Structure 1
Amino acid sequence: MNWVQEKIKDYYAVWLGIDRAYEEWASARHITSHTLFVLYGVWQNNGHSTQKQICEQWCMPKQTVHTILKSLQERDMLEIRPLPTDRRNKEIRFTSSGREFADQILGELFSLEETVMVQMGETQCEQMIKSGHLFLELFQKNMKKGN
């Protein structure tokens, strides 16, 4: 195995490890990582989310997001209403209990992420993000070339 193949293998191990860590973290709070990121999508957009926005933002299938939204609505955490300007799209807002739940869960997550970032240090964080952006940019560029 050449060095490039070894680095790709290491990259996948890190990527999948991070994904698994988020799934384990969410599972300990009795939700899935997909539910966690749907909550984050609604929270981040301050109650002005649509299913389409969440799907695009978090690269999740429409059916997955729909199922999670319906489950949260049935648990009285979300209100889902047609947009006045486009009845096919629905506005997603937290109920008061949904906002409280999301604030608690996401607050815990943000605290953990902040602790990790502080432990890494600003330089390492910047390098991680810069390298990730570079990989994405080059991947997309080469993908368009047909590689």
Structure 2
Amino acid sequence: MQQLDQLEQRIGRLEAVIDRWIVQQGLTYNAFAVLYSLARADGGNCTQKDIGEAWLLPKQTVFSTCKVLTEQGLLTQQPDNRDKRARQLCLTDAGRAQALPLLAAAEAFSERLFDAFGSERTAHLLAELDALNTVAETIINAEENRSCGAP
């Protein structure tokens, strides 16, 4: 498990650096996830479920964060016409005033980061992470199939 531990440490370190950048923007990670998602969303709205799935956040976490942002006047929530259990989230004018500069700042940070890292190294890193993920999924799928009695 040593190599998996090393990978987890490196991912954790990178996440901590990104979390520091988010804090510099005056937000929590969860509030950033919601505002950023809405700023990038087609039509300016999406569901709590969309955000939770995209950011791997628990449903209750997204719900609580959206409740706070709604109370702050940054977003509105309405029933989703396609799924009565879901809520469509939409930025208010005040929410757009906060989220759009945040989106621009995030895109600028990303550009500076990956420009400094280099396009070739970035492409290689992403390709290798994709390959590692594929290998991990293959192994886990094989183990699940064996435990279910499949050959």
TM-score when normalising by structure 2 = 0.87
2:52 is the alignment partner of 1:55:
yes
What secondary structure is seen at the aligned counterpart in 1 of 2:77?
A: strand
Partner of 1:33 in structure 2?
Answer: 29
Q: Could you list the runs of 5+ residues in structure 1 that have no partner in the other structure?
A: none
Q: Which residue is equivalent to 2:10?
A: 14
- The count of aligned residue pairs is 143
The residue that corresponds to 2:148 in the other structure is: none
Shift of 1:85: 3.5
1:129 paired with 2:126, answer: yes
Q: After superposing the two structures, state which structure 1 stretch, 107-116 or 28-37, moved more.
A: 28-37
1:107 equivalent in structure 2: 104
Secondary structure of 1:92's aligned partner? strand
Consecutive unaligned residues of structure 2, counting only runs of 5 or more, are: 145-151
Distance in 2 between the 1:114 and 1:38 partners?
Answer: 21
What RMSD over aligned residues (CA atoms) do the two structures have, in Å? 1.7
Tell me which residue corresponds to 1:138: 135
Superimposed CA distance per residue, residues 11-52 of structure 1 (whole angstroms, 9 cap, x where no aligned partner): 222200111112111122221112211222222223230111
1:102-138 residue CA offsets vs partner (Å, 9 max, x unmatched): 1112211211110011111110010111011111111
Cα distance change on mapping 1:9 and 1:86 into 2, 3 Å: closer
Q: Which residue identity lines up with residue 114 of structure 2 in the other structure?
A: M
Give, as a single letter, the amino acid of the residue that structure 2 aligns with 1:35. Answer: A
Structure 1 residue 101 displacement after superposition: 0.5
